[in-house]
Structure 1
């Protein structure tokens, strides 16, 4: 039985349905990230798990117990908010133990729990301070400590790092990952940042328009996107999308695109069990990640199908460990990721290596993956 089960859940405001028949099973100890653009329904779903929003239809259960209609205080969940939600007139120690005090936990137990999480989060020197005397990162650690001290069934994180600067976000990501590995707790985490989703999760639910677009491991989501939205949203830079024409020759398949000079180029693509849905001359969208468009020396040595072609480079963007290039294919911009020391310059025709093992095809109309 799933530890947290969300079954056919919807959310409506009047006649407007904003969350549509969501089905997710979360196992004990799993780190599930809900990711998607603003307004996709991820925070609404998190609030329904917490009991802060009512479920319009469907069922949600924790450890086999149905939570529909159960008050938030009775759900044994702990939530970390984007805004920290700390009491400004209380010290760090009082903020951490306030929930335990409200549940009439004896003082020695409260202090022992506080010291345990203070050591874990390295905030012991801050216990006598008030929130106004803390940095953003310190406040977020205190908010996490307030959640950890309770030993709940499920931790809920609502965009906890969005108010932090870039370096601090990376540091806090590492801390949250360490905590999960150390404690083995069940976490549901909301973010709009796909890097957070990829680095933190054991599984990701990609959401858009109130629907779950795809549910899977980070590798499944990245390598085998279910549709164009998932392919474009997950990855930085996002997957290149090229209009193409399918060409079939017996058991072999390729796609025809144009290079920077408008000349046709044929790129082989693997034939999958979906081959029956493919036909010669069909218009498709070819998806290929930037790291699969690189310089010959940077190409994956284990790839079985690497196509070499010469193409004009329009822009280069040195990024320290990599050099990103922009070239033109199929009448649009294509981003490639090359080695930092790749010999390339704007306006130069250079050798490119395309790893077609990583290519995927999408239907033009439905935008669903077909290959």
Structure 2
């Protein structure tokens, strides 16, 4: 049995179906990230695990105990909110220990846990301050400390980094990752940021329209997307999709260019979408010797320090290639791109599903 199980869960608000038979299993110590666009149902699912929303049908179980009718205070979960939700009239120390006080934990034990968490999060010097005297990153650490001190079965994070600036978001992402590795805690994390999902998780559930589109490890999601939505949502820049005809072991573009497929699907000639991520393109130098080539006309060059992004028309599609910083490519010029076809994906243009 999994540590946290979500079995056939649905959620409706009146006549509106928000979640459709969601099935997920989270093992003890997993870092599960729910990722998807706004309105896809990920926060609603998190709120149902927390007990803040009722399940319309299906079951949610923690440590084999069904939680559908269990009050939130009895679920042994802890939440970290997007808005931090700190009490402005309390000190950091009081904010961290308030939940323990409400559960009648003796003061010596409360103080002991607070000191342990303060040391872990390096906020010992902030204990006497109030939230208004803290930066955004410090407030988020305090919110995390309030969750950690509870020693819950499951930590629930609801877009905890979205209010931080870009640099601080990266720093806090690293801190959360270190924290998970150190504690081995079970974490259920919601975000719309696919970079957060890839860097933090041990498992990812990609959601759209109330459905789980794919569930797997970050590598499985990125290298073998189940459908066009996952392929284009996960990855920045997004995967390039080129309409092709698959015939005789080759993908044939609209302009007649042909690429041999590493794993051609069996069967008759068919239409497909060829998926190539930006990093699957390379400049045609010695390192790319032996790789098949695609010709394109470059329209835009975007230097990005360690890389150069080239936007080019290939066939009748605009594609983005991620090249080395020193790649000799110019806007307006014709260019040959080497393609790593062993990493390419194929999708059905009608259903959007992956073709194996």
Output the TM-score relative to the length of structure 1: 0.94
Q: In structure 2, do the counterparts of structure 1 residues 298 and 101 end up closer, same or farther at CA, with 3 Å as the change threshold?
A: farther
Determine if contact 2:273/2:349 at 8 Å carries over to the other structure.
Answer: yes
1:188-215: per-residue Cα shift (whole Å, max 9, x none)?
0000000000000000000000000000
Match of 2:355 in 1: 370
Superposition deviation, residue 313 in structure 1: 1.4
Q: How does 1:305-344 map to 2 (within 5 A)?
A: 306-344=291-329
Please tell me the root mean square deviation across aligned C-alpha atoms, in Å.
1.3
Q: In structure 2, do the counterparts of structure 1 residues 120 and 345 end up closer, same or farther at CA, with 3 Å as the change threshold?
A: same
Q: In structure 2, do the counterparts of structure 1 residues 112 and 16 end up closer, same or farther at CA, with 3 Å as the change threshold?
A: same
Determine if contact 2:83/2:160 at 8 Å carries over to the other structure.
Answer: yes
1:299-345: per-residue Cα shift (whole Å, max 9, x none)?
568xxx72124432111000011000001113121000000111111
Is 1:257 aligned to 2:257, yes or no? no
1:266-323: per-residue Cα shift (whole Å, max 9, x none)?
0111336xx34x421x21111110000121348568xxx7212443211100001100
Q: How does 1:143-292 map to 2 (within 5 A)?
A: 143-248=143-248, 253-258=249-254, 263-271=255-263, 275-276=265-266, 278-280=267-269, 282-292=270-280
Once residues 54 and 63 of structure 1 are traced to their aligned partners in structure 2, the CA distance between those partners, rounded to angstroms, is 19
Is 1:358 aligned to 2:343, yes or no? yes
SS at the partner of 1:270? coil
SS at the partner of 1:264? coil
Q: Work out the number of aligned pairs and report it.
A: 356
Between 353-362 and 34-43, report the one with greater CA deviation. 353-362
1:66-121: per-residue Cα shift (whole Å, max 9, x none)?
10110000000000000000000000000000000001111111111111111111
Output the TM-score relative to the length of structure 2: 0.98
Is 1:83 aligned to 2:79, yes or no? no
Determine if contact 2:204/2:216 at 8 Å carries over to the other structure.
Answer: yes
Structure 2 runs not aligned, ≥5 long: none
Determine if contact 1:298/1:339 at 8 Å carries over to the other structure.
Answer: no
Once residues 43 and 237 of structure 1 are traced to their aligned partners in structure 2, the CA distance between those partners, rounded to angstroms, is 25
Determine if contact 2:288/2:338 at 8 Å carries over to the other structure.
Answer: no
Structure 1 segments, 4+ long, off by >4 Å, are 298-301
